[in-house]
A and B are shown apart, each in its own frame.
Chain A
Amino acid sequence: MNRVFILTPLMVLLIICVFSLAYLLSGKDPNKPPSALLNKDVPIFESSSLYNSKDIIKSKDIKNKKTLINFFASWCSPCKIEHPLFFEIRKKHPELYLLGFNHKDLTSDAKKYLEDDGNPYDFVGVDSDGLIALEFGVFGLPETYLINEDGKIIYKFMGPITMDVLKNEIEPLL
């Protein structure tokens, strides 16, 4: 009886460690909660172009074409890291529509950023007050969404995309 009592802490320790290890190895990241929007219709949005405020894009404009939506900002350093990869995507998949949303940024800063690092997007929409990001449930920049021809969100990635992510997760869906 006494032994059982003394063994209990070791058993509890083992259980806790096994589950914690399983959690760590599963690659789950609590910073990246599963998106509730997956397989749902893309939220309704309306945004003007960074370069011409009269040029407006609406959610229904991206129907019938595969679209990659990327939220970025000039002040976001991880965005800078993933930026070159969009040119890669551009080159390999010219049919994919690249829509960038400039999140809570100054127009001048954003323009300079795209001038310095290049502009891979087909359209750069302004989301200066962050309301579009709110609709998409953006957690932190950068974030990338893939929308299919039916206007459904089929993929979401939080943080800078990498070559691995592009090859193993995004390209199979294209």
Chain B
Amino acid sequence: MSSLVGFLSLVFAIGINFYLFLSRYIFKFQKQKFNFFIRFSSLLTLLSFFSLMYAYVVSDFSNYNVFQNSHSNKPLIYKISGTWGNHEGSMLLWLSILSIFSFFFSFTKNIDKSFQRLTLIIQSLLHILFGLFIVFTSNPFLVNSILVNEGLGLNPILQDPGLAVHPPILYGGYVGYSIVFSIAIAGLFQNTDDEWLYVAKKWSLISWTLLTGGIALGSYWAYYELGWGGWWFWDPVENISLMPWIAGLALVHSLMMVRGEQAIKKWIVFLSILCFSLSVFGTFLVRSGILTSVHSFAADASRGIFILLIFFIVTGFGFLVFLLKEPKKSNDLNLLFINKVSALVINNILMIIATLTILLGTIYPIIIEVMYNKRISVGGPYFNATVIPIMIPGFLLMSIAPILSWQTNKIQNSKKYVLGFIILSILVSIQSYFLDFNTWGFVGLLLGFWIILASIIAIFSSYKVKFTIRFIQIINPHIAHIGVGIAIVGITCSSVFQNELDFNLNEGDKFNVNGKIVLFEKIETTNQINFQSLRGKFLFDIEKNQSKEIQAGKNFYPVSKMITSEAGILHQWNKDIYLILGDQKNNEWFVKVLINPFVSFIWLGVIIMIYSGLIAVSRR
């Protein structure tokens, strides 16, 4: 029953959008009526999504999708998240989020109504494309032809609270760019004033913030669930999310800086189209099964071709409009040796080069396989060797960019910055002299701390410190950059100064980690509701009274016969002690210990960036 409701409302919503699109050129809508239809179709799409969720919650195995991906003894949260833990459901989530964005956009005030309507018509077009994709190739409401009373279960690796919320937030970012795309295209068509830039700014900030949160959640999940001790693997799926993130960053900065320059406006339109194109391209690569990862569910060529077609239409349409309706050229850029505009231009160029470099590394294996029928993989070494050096000058520039002037080459208080940089260089040099020297470690630390220091100097020397909302908003760019600096310090330390120890242990053995004695207390197995767990219990630093317990082990999921590793992590502010329990051989357990310094800084940095994103959204 719920499946029928879901399917009908999905089709009905597509029908409304079709009607809206066609009738625009047949008869004029009353303003109210048009928005009513848009909102109605959004609500129908949501109804469809929640019908599917309902089928999951009540374990309605007459729905084929539920049967394939759920199991009645799963905890409620994974029944709910199971809704998007599969291809069909996640595409419906995609469409629902698209609808939510249209819904809220239809409420935007202080905006030219015909412009708003044109934007929503473009959204309707996207809705139709993705809606048809779902109905024809990925219908989550198919009826199960066999009578069953139990489902096949959700991939155990996805049964994790972090991963339950990761897809909706990430999609919020990806799909959020649809509205930016629509705004930009509508802006090109109408080509009237610059009002759309301010509207686009808000939506691109929202999308970027959500994307940041989504990527961070996925990354944090990989850190504690995959048991490899790292948090970023340059996996194709990660690269796909990083591309719109960097392009979106360039977009947000351009939108902040634009003062009516036509060249930058053109660039903004280009970036808006690019961001959404990259989002759709990512969806294509993952959903077509061209890339394998935990994200690619059953591969199906027809799906791949359909979504490639959508990608081609959307991107081709976007860039074609860009080509034909380019904004008129008038006033030029005020480029100086070093002012705000030139810093922005340089940073944007670097970010685009970085995006293209990642794009090349991601599609290169596809091209090679098509041409030479050989399978290659492009991984960490390529990206580390290319993307990071490209970004370094950008990082250097960002430390001072917010205090650069618009009109002149002068930097206020430049002496303070020079002095700060010299002192910092000396400190970092001393640090690397006493610890083992590593070039990347040195560069990373200097860069990260320099960004933090320069931002702090800027806050205290350029503004009067007051504790008002206005002040928080004014210093927000600096705060965001401090977040980046903190994250860079964390990234550098955790990757360059990571330490690995291997042990073969019996229960009751003691071993030494960084001068602290750790006791391998015992192995425990317990039966949980949907899995069996095996845990090694470790007591960290037993010589102190307050020793901390770390549990590392594995879970066995009987429904899908899968074993997942569950790393044991002791979080401290300056390092993570990361324990992985290996296999038992000759009565000895293999235990791997990773000491990851300053990992917490990465998450702290990201949280600060998200905070800044939210503050920037709230700013008028």
Contact = CB atoms under 8 A, between A and B. Distances in A.
Given A16-B281, A34-B375, A75-B561, A23 B290 contact: yes
Contact of B323 (A10, A26, A28, A30): A10
A19 B367 contact: yes
Interface in B245-299: 270, 273-274, 277, 281, 284, 288-292, 299
A6 B288 CA distance: 29
* Residue of A10, A33, A75 with highest tally of chain B CB at under 10 A: A10
Contacts of B387: none
A6 B267 CA distance: 10
Interface stretch (B108-116, B300-308, B606-614): B300-308
Q: Is the interface of A mostly helix, strand, loop or mixed?
A: helix
A77 interface: yes
A174 interface: no
Contacts of A22: 370
Contact of A29 (B270, B274, B289): B289
A31 B292 contact: yes
A165 interface: no
Contacts of A24: 288, 290, 301, 304-305, 308
A94 interface: no
A76 to B, nearest CB: 9
B316 A26 contact: no
A25 B366 CA distance: 12
Contacts of B277: 13
Interface in B453-497: none
B363 A19 contact: yes
Interface string A7-48: 101100100110111111111111101100000000000000
Contacts of A13: 277, 312, 315-316, 319
B179 to A, nearest CB: 20
Nearest to B298: A31
Nearest to A27: B301
* Residue of A30, A33, A75, A77 with highest tally of chain B CB at under 10 A: A30
B370 A30 contact: no
Contacts, number: 70
A22 B312 CA distance: 14
B236 to A, nearest CB: 10
Given A10-B323, A13-B312, A75-B561, A30 B363 contact: no
Given A17-B312, A24-B290, A29-B299, A9 B366 contact: no
* Residue of A22, A23, A26 with highest tally of chain B CB at under 10 A: A23
Contacts of A33: 375
Contacts of B315: 9, 13
B369 interface: yes
A17 B281 CA distance: 10
Contacts of A20: 284, 288, 290, 304, 308, 363, 366
Contact of B319 (A3, A9, A34): A9
B322 interface: yes
A156 interface: no
Nearest to B322: A6
Interface in B310-356: 311-312, 315-316, 319-320, 322-323, 326
Contacts of B292: 30-31
Contacts of B326: 6
B152 interface: yes
A29 to B, nearest CB: 6
A3 B304 CA distance: 32
Given A6-B322, A20-B366, A24-B305, A30 B312 contact: no
A9 B369 contact: no
Contact of A28 (B305, B322, B369): B369
Nearest to A20: B308
Contacts of B312: 13, 17
13 contacts: A6-B322, A6-B326, A9-B270, A19-B363, A19-B367, A20-B284, A24-B290, A24-B305, A24-B308, A25-B301, A25-B305, A31-B292, A77-B152
Interface of B: 152, 270, 273-274, 277, 281, 284, 288-292, 299, 301, 304-305, 308, 311-312, 315-316, 319-320, 322-323, 326, 363, 366-367, 369-370, 375, 561
Given A13-B319, A27-B301, 20 more contacts: A3-B323, A6-B322, A7-B323, A9-B273, A10-B316, A13-B277, A13-B316, A16-B281, A20-B288, A20-B308, A20-B363, A21-B305, A22-B370, A23-B290, A24-B288, A24-B290, A24-B308, A26-B370, A28-B369, A29-B299
Interface of A: 3, 6-7, 9-10, 13, 16-17, 19-31, 33-34, 75, 77, 104
